[in-house]
């Protein structure tokens, strides 16, 4: 059977988001357009435990009608809220989904915050007496499928900061191959002592603000988030008569094969993923109108990503709008790639570019590049956009999204 015989278009028909700049699509979009920063001193965790103690926290008061214990299952609460919003946004009744409806979820550390409490109980208690003391990411996936009544595949991804993007890429592949009609895909992450302490130990956390692609950048700020999209095949979208946000045109993955935490300084692995994504979408580099960069704001990652972009887009890179939304949202590991797909879908639908807030001065050698500095850009016609997710271990995932009208 030829590839054409099993290939179908995949569309994003629903969005759900829980973030430090807004819970729900409406507040999230307003925050993006306003260049709102969701990063500040920690309130939900004891900031005195950390050297820096800053990050992006979700306003849990905005999680209306949530029936999950935020102390024990914070990840599940965030993910459930985002999934329900995405299904409602797509005009879907969870009780009437197809039997092959798939859930694909990415998370770097799962319910680590609750695990830390479980594994440090009073001496009279034993971890074996505690239900689900470890709470790895796959337990969130299984609990979500039960809550949502999904009877198709449940797939969990733990490949660090690329996990949410990988979940969306694989779910789309299943739909293209005719293995599922519909999928809910994305990522979720919560702040924990382990994640913050670990990155502070790596000297990767900013003492001030996250400033991607700025000459004076000094690191990331961590955050928590849940971001999920509803993916549907073209035949189903046409049958339902809905207008999608975007078409998921292609995906590309690669491995740096260089180091556990350090990226390939030349950006070769990232460039390979970019080329594979463009090839999968059937597009040339000249067709891309915007790049939502991985853009962490660290000394090593930003130049490596820019090198990859120059390798693929050539001299045109200086004219190509490139922004990093992590200056607003922080870095939420497994959820970041999924949130950035949502940002790209909103950008396509609304015709705007989200800003790189806090940008002041170009990195040497990258003067004159368009990082959409500090203010959103409205009234922009976008046809095809790229979302980059580059993770520890050299896990690279690139997604290409297109306007629904572009075929």
Whether 207 is a known active-site residue: answer no
Instruction: Show the tokens assigned to 165.
Output: 């993007």
Rounded to 10°, the helix 268-281/301-313 angle is 40
Entry field: residues in the chain: 407
Phi–psi pair at 22, nearest 5 degrees: 160, 140
Write down the catalytic residue from 37, 75, 83, 161: 161
Whether 384 is a known active-site residue: answer no
220: DSSP letter: B
Among 84, 112, 105, 82, CA closest to 190: 112
Q: Tokens 């040339």 identify what position?
A: 284
Number of Cβ within 10 Å of residue 3's Cβ equals 8
Instruction: Show the tokens assigned to 146.
Output: 């039960």
Write down the catalytic residue from 210, 331, 344, 384: 331
Residues paired with 253 in a beta bridge: 397
Whether 161 is a known active-site residue: answer yes
Q: Give me Rg for the CA atoms of the chain.
A: 20
Q: 402 with 250: CB under 8 angstroms? A: no
Rounded to 10°, the helix 74-89/137-148 angle is 40
Distances (CA, A) of 375 to 318, 327, 355: 18, 12, 5
Give me the active site residues, please: 161, 294, 331
């Amino acid at each position: 059977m030829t590839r054409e015989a099993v290939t179908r278009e995949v569309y994003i028909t629903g969005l759900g988001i829980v973030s430090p700049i807004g819970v729900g699509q409406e507040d999230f979009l307003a925050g993006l357009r306003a260049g709102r920063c969701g990063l500040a001193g920690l309130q939900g965790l004891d900031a005195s435990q950390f050297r820096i103690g800053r990050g992006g926290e979700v306003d849990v008061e905005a999680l209306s009608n949530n029936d999950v214990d935020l102390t024990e299952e914070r990840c599940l609460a965030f993910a459930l809220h985002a999934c329900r919003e995405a299904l409602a946004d797509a005009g879907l009744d969870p009780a009437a989904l197809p039997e092959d409806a798939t859930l694909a979820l990415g998370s770097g550390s799962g319910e680590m915050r609750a695990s830390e409490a479980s594994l440090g109980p009073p001496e009279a208690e034993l971890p074996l007496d505690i239900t689900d003391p470890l709470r790895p990411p796959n337990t969130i996936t299984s609990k979500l499928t039960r809550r949502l009544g999904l009877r198709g595949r449940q797939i969990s991804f733990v490949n660090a900061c690329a996990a949410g993007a990988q979940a969306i890429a694989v779910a789309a592949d299943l739909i293209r191959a005719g293995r599922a009609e519909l999928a809910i895909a994305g990522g979720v992450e919560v702040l924990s002592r382990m994640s913050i302490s670990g990155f502070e130990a790596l000297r990767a956390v900013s003492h001030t603000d996250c400033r991607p692609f700025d000459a004076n950048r000094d690191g990331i700020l961590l955050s928590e988030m849940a971001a999920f999209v509803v993916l549907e095949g073209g035949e189903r979208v046409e049958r339902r008569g809905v207008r999608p946000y975007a078409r998921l045109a292609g995906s590309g993955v690669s491995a740096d094969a260089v180091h556990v935490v350090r990226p390939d300084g030349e950006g070769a692995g990232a460039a390979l993923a970019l080329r594979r994504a463009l090839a999968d979408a059937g597009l040339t580099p000249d067709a891309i109108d915007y790049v939502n960069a991985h853009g962490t704001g660290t000394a090593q990652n930003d130049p490596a990503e820019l090198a990859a972009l120059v390798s693929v887009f050539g001299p045109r890179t200086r004219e190509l709008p490139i922004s990093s939304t992590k200056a607003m949202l922080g870095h939420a590991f497994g959820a970041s790639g999924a949130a950035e797909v949502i940002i790209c879908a909103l950008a396509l639908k609304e015709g705007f570019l989200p800003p790189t807030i806090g940008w002041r001065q170009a990195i040497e050698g990258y003067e004159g590049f368009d990082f959409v500095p500090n203010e959103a850009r409205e009234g922009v016609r976008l046809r095809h956009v790229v979302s980059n997710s580059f993770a520890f271990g050299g896990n690279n995932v690139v997604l290409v999204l297109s306007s629904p009208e572009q075929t």
